[in-house]
Chain A
Amino acid sequence: MTADRFSSPLWRDRALAASAVRRMEALAAEAASRSGGQLNFMEVCGTHTMAIAASGMRRLFPKGLRMLSGPGCPVCVTSQGDIDGVLALAAVPGAVIATFGDMMKVKGSGGLDLHSMRERGSDVRVVYSPLDAVELAAAEPSRQVIFVGVGFETTAPVVAAAVARAAKAGLRNFSSTAFFKLVPPALEMLLSDPSNKISGFMLPGHVSSVIGLEPYLFVARKYRVPCVVAGFEPLDILAAVNMLLEQVISGRPEVQDEYFRAVPAAGNPAALKLMREVFSVRDADWRAIGRVKDTGLGFSRAYARFDALKRFGIPRKAAPEPKGCLCGRILLGKAQPPDCRLFGKACTPSNAVGPCMVSSEGACAAWFKYGA
């Protein structure tokens, strides 16, 4: 596998982009006349949100076509209660918290974050892979190493691999949280709300490389909403938008794969097997949405001893959202960041109120950093 196949400069070629934009204008005009008005495509994944903003693409979209950010940024969808759980773990005497950098600045309901816990003496370390946390546990047998496991089907198999490795090595001082969410049930949550105005989904390339295409079929069949799995280069995104427009025009919604160079229809069976061995489907707490049945992953019975919350006796609690924050509505595609009164004023990346501003892949951070 060569990286060039994924990120060659061709994927940012100006002439190809210009021709894709011309085609988009023609298709959008036709699609608008078919569908009778505003088209709202939702990019479910935070990496897409960032890629759209970073490439300055918003200005190239024709009038009447809008990209909404969905509930696909791992930090953003993690509930306030689960964040409080992580902070409680950071206060366990002698524990080492190993986390992805993105989680460092998310505030709990008491106003603290992992940064401030570290200032107060907690041992919090940023790792690049959950496997690093397992190595840390092996290297420091006298310390309890707790990995902060959050994310979707992209991250869950990697954490599953780390847990399986710790189990194999007989490590008693490694544990993890399992605040994992599943993308297909999230789409169902959005679509089952009759007031949703979603005309098509740009589906996440990373997640789809694990789960494949089959889990999305219900979106096209039951809800009749077009779906395209997309890569992350600017031309991937432009091509995916055009494919969505073509589906709107034809009136035959289906699940298409623009990112076929990375996403096989069957996904990654090895990753799925490992994920299903270590974790099992359970209710998940979504930011601003609350607890929804069977929308997440928790530890399976066979691996329950690696559940950090259980090991340290920390209860799973609900906690209220920050006041005035529109993150919840933004995650549901019902508002855009500039609609929030806090945006850019009380809430900025260095002093974030809501998680969509905290996360480097959050919708608010993307709008703030790259402008409209």
Chain B
Amino acid sequence: MKNDTVKLAHGSGGRLSRELVERVFLKAFSNPALAPLEDSAVVPAGGETLAFTTDSYVVTPVEFPGADIGRVAVCGTVNDLAVKGARPLALSAGFIIEEGFPMDLLGRLAGSMRRAAAEAGVSIVTGDTKVVEKGKADGVFINTAGVGLIPRGRALSSSSVKAGDAVIVSGCLADHGVAVMNARNRLGLRGGIKSDAAPLNALAEAALRRPGVRAMRDITRGGLATVLNEVCGACGLGAEIEESALPVAPATAKACALLGLDPMYVANEGKLAVFCSAAAAPAVLKAMRSHRYGRKAAVVGRMVRDPRRSVRLLTAIGGSRVMLMLEGEQLPRIC
């Protein structure tokens, strides 16, 4: 333990990230609001219930097709609130800026944050800036926090998911991660792959207006596979996912095949996983599809009794295999 250090893989959003949080922070901060380790903490406030969350953003490059670090920073926090059924009340933004960072780029990022917040119907009401010496940060790091109000009677939790429940995803997976990788490494992949970064609070509300939704998750780093494993761990069930039902845009699927990436583990910034009763699924799906960020929503599988709490993929050719949490980082292969 003494020579143990933090590895890049501890930040990948997969199993090691969870281990780091459990080993260091959960142990140090231990309290009931933190313990479930969901997208937002649920905090009582007088007679009301608040959702509270924070997230830091580190992306190279800061601008990429479809979005930029500012939009992602606002959407990520709005979405962490939205999946707990909360309506966002206010956001904060903190900036760690490397000396020499172009002022006009910073202005563009701020404008992008304002537009994303306006779209979500929330304001950035407080903030902080720090400037560090050249080389002590990579351009700009942004932290956002958000507080939201959970309407009475709403209690979404991964632990309430039941056997037989349907698993819905809100649209095409893996676009964000592939778009950023393409921009970062100038891979020149064509097909117009763009980040999906979007505020999903209105989409979540649309789904929640139908009865039967038991839990929602924001599918970000670690991808759908990691989210499903976390939900299975929390509710004590397994999941069966139909490979042929998974929405992945053809250009993204090709890019993943080329790079040796599995789209189930690639990051998204504008996708929800919704867990609802099988009976409610058609109505929830219809409500989601009527929203601009849910047009490609699809039922991709179901929750099943499984003492091993495993996520199984029923493959397109009729085979089946497990889908574990992300192990380490996803690295492109040699050939």
Contact = CB atoms under 8 A, between A and B. Distances in A.
Interface in B220-252: 244
A370 B321 contact: yes
Interface stretch (B41-49, B61-69, B296-304, B324-332): B324-332
A262 to B, nearest CB: 13
B319 A151 contact: no
- Identify whether the interface residues of A are mostly helix, strand, loop, or mixed: helix
A371 B322 contact: yes
Contacts of A235: 317
Nearest to A119: B5
A102 B317 contact: no
Contact of B7 (A60, A115, A155, A368): A115
Interface in A330-353: 348-350
B197 to A, nearest CB: 24
Interface in B145-187: 185, 187
Interface in B311-326: 313-322, 324
A56 B313 contact: yes
A55 B333 contact: no
B316 A14 contact: yes
B283 interface: no
A245 interface: no
A177 interface: no
Contacts of A369: 322, 324, 327
- Identify whether the interface residues of B are mostly helix, strand, loop, or mixed: loop
A12 B262 contact: no
Interface in A1-39: 3, 7, 9, 12-14, 17-18, 21
A146 B252 CA distance: 32
B334 A57 contact: no
B327 A151 contact: no
Given A3-B254, A105-B328, A115-B8, A47 B317 contact: no
A350 B331 contact: no
A56 B328 CA distance: 22
A361 interface: yes
Contacts of A105: 328
A155 B321 contact: no
A58 interface: yes
Contacts of A128: 185, 187, 259, 332
Nearest to A352: B328
B283 to A, nearest CB: 29
A350 B7 CA distance: 10
A101 interface: yes
Contacts of A97: none
B15 interface: yes
A155 B317 contact: no
A74 interface: yes
A122 to B, nearest CB: 14
Interface in A271-288: none
A361 B260 contact: yes
Given A126-B331, A350-B15, A7 B321 contact: no
A150 B333 CA distance: 12
Given A100-B334, A348-B327, A55 B262 contact: no
A338 B262 CA distance: 23
Given A152-B335, A349-B328, 16 more contacts: A7-B254, A7-B257, A13-B317, A14-B318, A55-B315, A56-B313, A56-B314, A58-B319, A60-B319, A75-B334, A105-B328, A115-B8, A126-B332, A154-B335, A350-B16, A361-B334
15 contacts: A14-B318, A17-B316, A47-B260, A50-B260, A54-B262, A55-B319, A102-B334, A103-B334, A127-B185, A152-B335, A154-B335, A350-B15, A360-B331, A369-B322, A370-B321
Interface of B: 5, 7-9, 15-16, 185, 187, 244, 253-254, 257, 259-260, 262, 313-322, 324, 327-329, 331-335
